[in-house]
Amino acid sequence: MSSTTTTPSTHAPPPPPPPLHPQTSLVNVKSSDLKTVSTNNVFVHFNSCQWAAHYPELREACTKNNLFLEKEPFKYKYKYIESVLQVGPTCGLVALSMLVDRKVTANEMLNIAKLSGYTGNGEMCSCKNMVKLVKEVFNLAGINNVTFELKIGNLFSSETIELLTDGAIILVPYDADCNHSPCLRNGHTAHWALICGILIDNPTESFELDANNIYVLCKHGKSKYLAIWKLADLDSSNKNLKEFSPKKGTDGSTYVLPDGGIGGEDGLCNQYLVFKGLNPN
C-alpha cells in the first residue's frame, strides 16, 4: 500500500497599494466632508466653491488658492480663455494669440512682428509696438467689433475694477517670479499675461481701494492653469519694469528694445492694453 504526501500550497501575500502620486494634494474645506473628486491632480471637495460649479477651471483655481471656498465673491466676472504654452521668449505673442482665440497663431504673429521690426526673437518690449501688432492681428483675423486702447498708470484703480467687472480683458506686462506670480525684479524677468476676470471680496465703503479685496484671474504662456493674483501686486510689478534683463542682454541673441529701454515712455513700465467688446462665454 503506497502513501502520498500532499505539500500545502502557498500563496504570495498581496502587493502593497501603490503610493500616492507625489503631486497629489488635498485641499480641506470641512473636516467632516470626505467626498472628493480628483481633477488635474488636485482633490476638489464637492462642497467647495459651489458658486463656480459651472466653471471648472475657475473652481479649481479658487480651491488651490483657498479663496471663496464656502461663499460666493461679492462680485466677480470671468471669461474662459483656452491656454497656449509659449516656445521661446514669445509670451506677449502667445497671450495675444489666446486673446484672439488662436485665429492667428503665435508663430504667425512672430513673422509679422519680425518683419515690422517689433521683435528679434519673439520678445515684445514696447506696449506701443504691441498696439501696432494688435491692429495687424485683428485685421488678419477679421476682428472688427472689439475696441482697445493703451493705458498708462492706474492699473489698481476703481476705473480698472469697473472695466473688468464689465467684461474687459487686459494685456499687461509684469515681472514674473519663479512660480510666474508678480514680483519686483526691476524688469529682469519681464513677462506678459492676460487678465480675463476679477474676484471682489469683503464689500466695504471703499472696497475698491483695499488691496486685499481685489483678485484678478490671469492666463499666460508658461502655464496651462488659471492663475489668481492680487491686482495691487500686479500693478506694483507692472510699475517696476525699469530695465531689460542683463542676462538676456549678453546671451548672444538679438533683441529689439525701444528708445529709452523698457522703462521709458515707449517701453513697458506702467503701461498695459485694455480690450472691450470680446464675446462673453
- What residue segments make up the domains of the chain, in order of their start? 28-71, 91-276
Q: What is the pLDDT of residue 15?
A: 55
Q: Are 56 and 191 within 8 A, CB to CB?
A: no
- Give Cβ neighbours of residue 43 (< 8 Å, ≥ 6 apart): 24, 25, 26, 27, 36, 37
- Give Cβ neighbours of residue 150 (< 8 Å, ≥ 6 apart): 127, 128, 131, 271, 272, 273
Q: What is the pLDDT of residue 208?
A: 66
Dist CA 14 CA 206 (whole Å): 63
Q: What distance, in Å, lies between the first and last C-alpha atoms of the chain?
A: 88
- The 8-class DSSP code of residue 207 comes to G
Annotated catalytic residues are: 91
- Which residue reads 516656445 in cell numbers? 87
The residue type at 173:
P
- The 8-class DSSP code of residue 155 comes to S
Dihedral pair phi/psi, residue 249, rounded to 5°: -65, -15
Dist CA 244 CA 261 (whole Å): 7
- Sheet containing strand 36-39, strands side by side: 25-26, 42-45, 36-39
Dist CA 229 CA 198 (whole Å): 10
| pLDDT tens-digit profile, the chain (281 residues) | 444 444 444 455 555 554 443 332 333 333 333 333 444 444 445 578 999 999 999 999 999 999 999 999 999 999 999 999 999 999 999 999 999 999 999 999 999 999 999 999 999 999 999 999 999 999 999 999 999 999 999 999 999 999 999 999 999 999 999 999 999 999 999 999 999 999 999 766 666 678 889 999 999 999 999 999 999 999 999 999 999 999 887 888 889 999 999 999 999 999 999 999 987 66
Q: Are 39 and 64 within 8 A, CB to CB?
A: no
- The closest of 100, 194, 192 to 146, measured between CA atoms, is 100
- Which residue reads 498581496 in cell numbers? 14
154: left (phi over 0), alpha (psi -120 to 50) or beta: left
Beta strand pairing call for 36-39 and 169-176 = unpaired
Determine the length of the chain: 281
Question: Over the Cα atoms of the chain, what is R_g?
Answer: 24
- Sheet strands (E) in the chain: 25-26, 36-39, 42-45, 75-78, 147-152, 169-176, 182-183, 190-200, 214-220, 227-230, 271-276
